[in-house]
Amino acid sequence: MQVSDYIANFLASRQIYHVFGLSGGASLHLLHSIRKHAQLRLVCCHHEQSAAMAADGYARVTHKPSAVITTSGPGATNLITGIATSYYDSIPVLFITGQVSTFRSSQGSPLRQYGFQETPIVDIASPIVKRSYYIKSVSELPSILNDAYKTMLSGRMGPVLIDIPDNLQRESISQPLPSFSTPTKNPSSSIDLTKLQSRLAASSSPILLIGWGVELTASTSRLINLATKLGIPVVCTWGARNVINSHHPLFAGIIGTHSDRAANIILKDADLLIALGTRLDTKATGSPASHFAPNAYKVVFDIDPHELSKYERLGINVELPITADLACLDTWNALFSINAPASCTFLDWRNYISKNSALSKV
């Protein structure tokens, strides 16, 4: 079997059925194999940046990984903005770039470039992908494909990039497709929400702050059920605007520097903040960050411990940082174990919000 056909079969075996791309000399074998595969659909774009962003959008809407194939040189570098988009928003996209043949490579020499359109895309993209790979021999292809897929979907998701020389795409490979199961999400059964339960019992003005991570992990319905159970109003970051309907009785607006004034006032008045799926960037917190939700006891759930460790440096006092994966059912089981105080349904708080957030619900 030709290597390019092997890659097409690998994508189909992982249920990546839509591949976005643009033809070029160093990617023709790959694209031809995609095009002739019965289970795959090649979506031809007019620019590599468009291909990257189309794949990013497809993954966001379907909650499934997608793939992009382009040629070397400018074909690869034109992907950069789209790759960065996927990286910063944690979108799983597999980027595959063609590269000049190994016998035309300048690697290991002081030459800037030897083969036509040779560009070190692995090094260029490295800071904005979870991992980048250069295929040196056909024998390592199965393990790299497997590792790339696992890396893309494990933990905090994000894009990966595989660079494949043109001559290797045409070689034969006899190895079977590697067996693989979708990465299991990080168990979160050890989460201790005792402190959160006690703070909720003492709270009179709690708020749920929802970020893009809720939508990314397909947890929207769980979030709404949790908010309804607890009777807690919900505010969203700009990126999570579609998580809850604007006419939902618990929706209190969008917070941040480019959002609703009323929602920001509500956030200022909250005495308990529970943040799910948001990294609380500067657009959400405003400046200085130390003024963010100044009266609230802050509970922040985040899959990335590096995000949680940044708050002290920024001057944001997060009293209860919790490392948790919203894609893991254990996390939601822990959250649903919390109960609102029987004597308090936060009606006064919700009535206050209702009177002061009319401009948020347009």
Taking only the tens place, the pLDDT of each residue in 276-325 is 999 999 888 888 888 999 999 999 999 999 999 999 888 899 999 999 99
pLDDT at residue 210 above 90? yes
244 pLDDT more than 50: yes
Scored b (16 or more CB within 10 A) or e, 140-172 reads: ebbebbbbbbebbbbebbbbbbbbbbbbbbeee
Q: Is the pLDDT of residue 154 over 60?
A: yes
In this prediction, residue 359 has a pLDDT band, given cuts at 50, 70 and 90, of very low
pLDDT band of 104, cuts 50, 70, 90: confident
Please say whether the beta carbons of 60 and 13 come within 8 A: no
Mean pLDDT, all residues of the chain: 90
Q: How far is CA 6 from the centre of its chain?
A: 27
Which of 1.10.357.10, 3.40.50.970, 1.20.120.1200, 2.102.10.10 is the CATH number of 3-169? Answer: 3.40.50.970
- The answer to whether 158 and 95 are in contact (CB under 8 A) is no
Average pLDDT for residues 332-350, to the nearest whole number? 84
Q: Using alpha carbons only, what angle is made at residue 156 by residues 246 and 221, rounded to the nearest 5 degrees?
A: 30
CATH numeric code, 194-360: 3.40.50.1220
For residue 93, pLDDT beyond 90: yes
pLDDT given at position 224: 92
Using alpha carbons only, how large is the chain's radius of gyration in Å? 24
- pTM for the complete prediction? 0.89
Is residue 167 over pLDDT 70? yes
pLDDT in tens, 34-82: 999 999 999 999 999 999 999 999 999 999 999 999 999 999 999 999 9
* Residue 240: predicted pLDDT: 87
Classified as helix, coil or strand, 200 is helix
Domains 3-169 and 194-360 share a fold: yes
Residues ≥6 apart with Cβ < 8 Å to 86: 52, 55, 56, 59, 92, 93, 158, 159
CA 239 to chain centre: 12
Residue 347: per-residue pLDDT: 86
What pLDDT shows up at residue 361?
Answer: 47
Please name the amino acid found at residue 314: L
The whole-angstrom distance between residue 352's C-alpha and the CA centroid of its chain comes to: 35
Band (181; pLDDT cuts 50, 70, 90): low
d(CA 55, CA 75): 15
Does residue 127 surpass a pLDDT of 80? yes
Starting at the edge strand found earlier in the chain, the sheet holding 234-236 runs 251-254, 234-236, 206-210, 272-276, 297-302, 320-323
Whether the Cβ atoms of residue 50 and residue 74 lie closer than 8 Å to each other: no
pLDDT of 247 above 90: no
The domain locations on the chain are 3-169, 194-360
